[in-house]
Structure formats: C-alpha cells, structure tokens
Structure 1
Amino acid sequence: MGASSHVRFAFAALMASLMTVMGDKSASPTLPATFEVDLLFPRNETYAPSWLMPVVFAIQNPSLAVPLSASIQWSMWEGNSTRSPGHIGGGGFDVDGDVRTATSTPKNPYMLSGAVNTISYPDGVWTLAWYVQYNICGGPTHSENFTTVFTVSKSGKAIDLEAATSSDVCGAAQAQAFNITSPWGCGMLGPSPTTNPCAATIDSAAASSLSALARATGAICTSYSSNLTCLDPSPPPGQPSAANPRVVAASTLLTLLAALGALIHLA
C-alpha cells in the first residue's frame, strides 16, 4: 500500500474519531449488556447521484468495543464486479481504537460515517458489503456477512439521513448484536441477542453535523478507489461548497487540518 493510501486510511479513521460527541459522560453498561452495530445508511433504495454519498454506522454501547477489539470492515462496488472502476475495497472503522483514544466518552449510540463520490456513475446499481471483526481467545474472527444493494439514478430521491432512521423503517436496518457477559476471556460472549436498530436514529442535529463535516473535509475513499474523487474539499458545480460554521466548530476543523498535515508529512 502506497503512502497516499496510508494517508487516506488514517484520514478516514481520524474523521471517524471526530464524530465523537463531546460531553457525554455515560458510564460503561453493567454486564451482561449488548454491543450492537447498525447500518443506518444506505438502504435498499434509489438515490440521486451525490459527490458525498454517506455510509453511516451506529454503535450501541461503544465502550464494549474494547474487550471485543471490534472494528467494522466494508467494501463497495458499482455494477456486477468487485473489480469494477467504482470499487472501494478495504474500507473500515476501528471502533476499539476510536473508543480508546477519544478525549471524552463517546455518545451512545456512537455514529461513524464516511462518504463516497457517485457523481461519476449517475445511473447504476451499487453493493455495500460489511461485517464486524472482533478478537476473542487469541484469534480474529468476524460476524456474519451483510450485503445491501442500492441504486443511483438521476431520477432517484435526495439523500435524507433522518428519513432513513424514521420509526416506520428503522426496524429493517441491517444489524449485528453481541451479548457481552464478562469483560474478558473466552467465555465473554453469551447467546446472540435480538437486535434493536430503532434505538439508533439520526435526528436533525446529527444529520446536520454529519453532512457539515463531510462537506468540510470532502469525500473519503480508500486505496482501490482511483476512479473516484478522494480527499477533495472542492465540490462539483452546484454542490454545497462549505460547512455551516454553526454546526462544525472552527477548532474542530483546525484540529482536523493540522492532523491531516501531520499524516501527509509522516507518509
């Protein structure tokens, strides 16, 4: 993997870390408790092309990611082949690392978001494949594989993160839950619990924050996405050009830019 790829991966992880909502001091849940990962967006629907098509996961009880060493691994491709020009391979969020390094306790549920550019493919079928990777008893393993198929079309509807988690559709979200019965050890997992994706919703404030941060930083892509626009804060004509300063604090953006500069220097 080249230096630019390392920067892209590190930048994506940095963006995920910045999604921690400051000031929530909720304690770790009393065991047994459920650790759950929900795919909030996209859904099996038809969307208009966007230079920032979001991929949004919610983590319920994020502190429990630490004993699991949990991460989310995902890939996305356009068309019928994972080798297509629109292929994005090796996407992921290091949930365990984000929780360990957060400067305050992550909000519950904890939102993780990336974005990809579908402008170059205004009409087509896309596939998002994902799973939860975790580590117990000395070896990595992963949950069942999930696949979501969605369509991009010029006649598709605009992206609406709030509507994607409304009460009438939230129960259909893809989700994986783990029953954590003890903090460590091979016997830490109990029988798989029933998932509850409706406990993770995107309200107007969260939707504005996700959209504003994406607009401020540009599309986030990975090493196989050479045909997409990556790390480009300049949108195409007619697209939003800047974050709303009332949503994203200047200090957050300065921290992000400083960190990105450091990553480029190290690479």
Structure 2
Amino acid sequence: MFDLKKQVLAFSLMVSLGIAETTGLGFAEVDLVFPRDGIFGLMPLTPIVFVIQNPAAIDRLYPYIDYGLWPVDLPRGNHTLDRMLVQQHLPNTTDTTGSVAFLNARIANTLNTENDWEFVWKMDWTNCSTSANETTSDGEPKVNLNNPWAGQSVRFTTKKGANQPNLTALTADDKCGDASALAFNVTKTLEPQSGYYEGQKCAVLASPAPTPAPCKVSVAPAAASSILSTLTAAQCAAFTPGISCPPKKGAATVNNAASQLIWWAAVYQLSIVQWV
C-alpha cells in the first residue's frame, strides 16, 4: 500500500491548489538516537530508536524511512534497505505542535558477535510549492509535489565486555550532538483539491533547511526503559523470538501482545520525555 502511494506521487507531480494554512508549523526534526557511533556490548536484540520533534509538522511531510544494517566489510552489492519503519502518518498528531514522539524497531540475532558495523537510514518526504506558470480551470495556481530524500550513516563496533547502549546517556549533553538528524522548517501547508493528496494538507518547506538541534530532546530513564521493554515484548511475541524470553503465560496473552506490539511502533511518551 505504501509503496503504491509513493509510485503514484512519482507520476502525479501537479495538483490544484486549494485552501492554504498560513500558520507555520515551524521547526521539526527526525533524530536517530540509536544506532550511534561508538563501541557497544554484544546485543542479541538491537534497538532502533528515532525521536520525532514536532510530529504534527513531520506528519505533513508524508515521510518514508528505510534502514539497513550490515558489517562494514560487506560488499556494496549486498547492501539492502528495509522499509520496516514506514512513517505515513504519526498517530494523534492533531494539535500536538511542540511535542515529541518515538519511532521504534528492533533487529534480533545480528549484533551478538564482535564486528564493525554500518547502519544506514534514508528518509524521503513531500515538499509542496506553488507553480509560477500553471493555473487550474478556476484561475488558481497549481502546486508542485516534490519528493526529495536524504540518507545518512553511522559506524560502530560491537565488543565483548563493552557497555550496552544507554538511550538516556546517548541523549545527555555530552553526547546528544553526535546524533544523526534531519531538520525542517514548515512555513505553511497547502490543501490540494485534486490528485492523490486531495483533501489533505502538505508542507511547504523553507530553504535552506535549518541546522538540526538534537540536543533539544533527552530520553528520560523511564522512557528508555519503556522503549526497551516494548521492543523486547514485541520480539518475544514472535513465533520464533530468537532471544531469551520469559515463559509465556497463555495463548490469549501472547496473541494480545502480538496484536499490539508489531514490528514497528510509534508511541507517545510525553509524560516521560524531557524536552529542553
């Protein structure tokens, strides 16, 4: 479904301009908390954690996030990206300007050996802009739907005896600036009256993009614990978990967990996130 939507966007670059939302949603950002550059202990279950600053604005970008993880010495022809963190709409983003959300995923049975690794993530999004030359049948200007993208990578090492990743420590003052991040300035939104986004609002972005500010957010210990517990529970609900899990208490409990804790999760932690 999501790939089909992307293909439609690629062939439908012009839609008619409707109502414009003039109030800018402002600064928004996607930060990769982990993986991160550094040396970490062996991980039977690897957390993948993004922090979304101002999810209401990011929601108007209709972003897609792909990622891949492989040994540094793996031939480039064997590199693949998985669209397991498909971010179409963040949940409950209405009237949440200024809040924070998490996108979480996990990889099992990969980083439980010593090695040097590369984690690559790519995000593409929609940027609306009015057309200078074309108008609708009613004389209104049309809007371009551009689909830019950007990719970033981090390298790290797994080593026996090293510390496990600590999400709180990685967002502390001395480490937060090392985060891989993409920032945006949403000046307003446009509402197309035709095309694939008819009736929806898409973002108009300022250029150049603002400098990322990952240090605006720190992950409190309670939030870090909640994220890791959620990822572990989701993995243990799998048919073949591949990690050490507590005994299952019953099929009903397992089925309920599996239905709620799917491969990727976008969960709000507003009560346990510190936003500087």
TM-score of Structure 1 vs Structure 2, range by shorter chain: 0.5 to 0.7
Conserved in 2, the CA contact under 8 Å of 1:216 and 1:233?
A: no
2:155 pairs with 1:153: no
SS in structure 2 of the partner of residue 125 of structure 1: strand
- Structure 1 residues 154 and 187: alpha-carbon distance in aligned structure 2, compared to 1, 3 A threshold: closer
In the alignment, which residue of structure 2 is the partner of 1:208?
Answer: 225
Change (3 A) 1:205 1:134: same
- Distance 1:258-1:50 versus aligned 2 partners, 3 A rule: closer
Give the aligned residue type for 1:168. Answer: D
> Residue 257 of structure 1 corresponds to which residue in structure 2?
259
Equivalent residue letter for 1:257: S
User: Does the residue aligned with 1:156 lie in a helix, a strand or coil?
Assistant: coil
Residue deviations 1:35-73 (CA, integer Å, cap 9, x gap): 201111121111111121111111111111232111222
The alignment's C-alpha RMSD in Å is 3.9
C-alpha distance in structure 1 between counterparts of 2:185 and 2:243, whole Å: 43
Partner of 2:181: 175
Distance 1:32 1:207, change over 3 A: closer
Looking at structure 2, the residues matched to 190 and 106 of structure 1 have their Cα atoms a distance apart, in angstroms, of 17
Q: Any idea what SS the aligned residue of 1:195 has?
A: coil
Q: Secondary structure at the match of 1:98?
A: coil
Contact 2:109-2:242 at 8 Å conserved across structures:
no
Q: CA deviation at 1:183?
A: 0.9
8 Å contact kept, 1:51–1:219: no
Aligned residue for 1:96, secondary structure, equals coil
Report what 1:116 is aligned to: 107
Q: Which residue, out of 145, 149, 173, partners 1:142?
A: 149
Specify the code of the residue in structure 1 equivalent to 2:259: L
Task: Determine the C-alpha separation between the residues in 2 that align with 1:104 and 1:122.
Answer: 44
TM-score normalized by the length of structure 2: 0.65
- Cα 1:187–1:174 change in 2 (3 A) is closer
Q: What amino acid is aligned across from residue 135 of structure 1 in structure 2?
A: T
Pairs aligned (count): 214
In structure 1, the partner of 2:118 is 127
Identify unmatched segments of 5+ residues in structure 2.
2-22, 128-143, 192-201, 263-276
Q: Which amino acid aligns with 1:211?
A: L
Partner residue of 2:36? 43
Secondary structure of the 2:204 match is: coil
User: Structure 2 CA distance, aligned partners of 1:187 and 1:235?
Assistant: 41
Question: Which of 235, 241, 248 is residue 246 of structure 2 equivalent to?
Answer: 241
- Partner Cα separation in structure 2 for residue 112 and residue 187 of structure 1: 21
Contact map agreement 1:49 1:119 (CA 8 A) in 2: no
Task: Looking at secondary structure, tell me which structure has more strand per residue.
Answer: 2
> Once structures 1 and 2 are overlaid, which stretch shifts more, 89-98 or 107-116?
89-98
C-alpha distance in 2, partners of 1:183/1:153? Answer: 47
C-alpha distance 33-204 of structure 1, shift in aligned 2 (>3 A): same
1:33 alignment partner in structure 2: 26
Matches of 1:116 and 1:65, distance apart in 2? 25
CA distance change for structure 1 residues 48 and 231 in 2, over 3 Å: closer, same or farther?
A: farther
In structure 1, what is the equivalent of residue 6 of structure 2? none
1:120 to 1:39, Cα distance in 2 relative to 1, 3 A: closer
**Contact 1:65-1:96 within 8 A present in 2 as well:** no
1:84-142 CA-partner distances (Å, limit 9, x unpaired): 98x66314423332336x79969921111111124565111111111221023334221
Structure 1 position 68 matched with structure 2 position 61 = yes
Identical columns (%):
26
SS in structure 2 at match of 1:127? strand
SS in 1 for 2:58: helix
* Rg larger in structure: 2
Amino acid across the alignment from 2:216? A
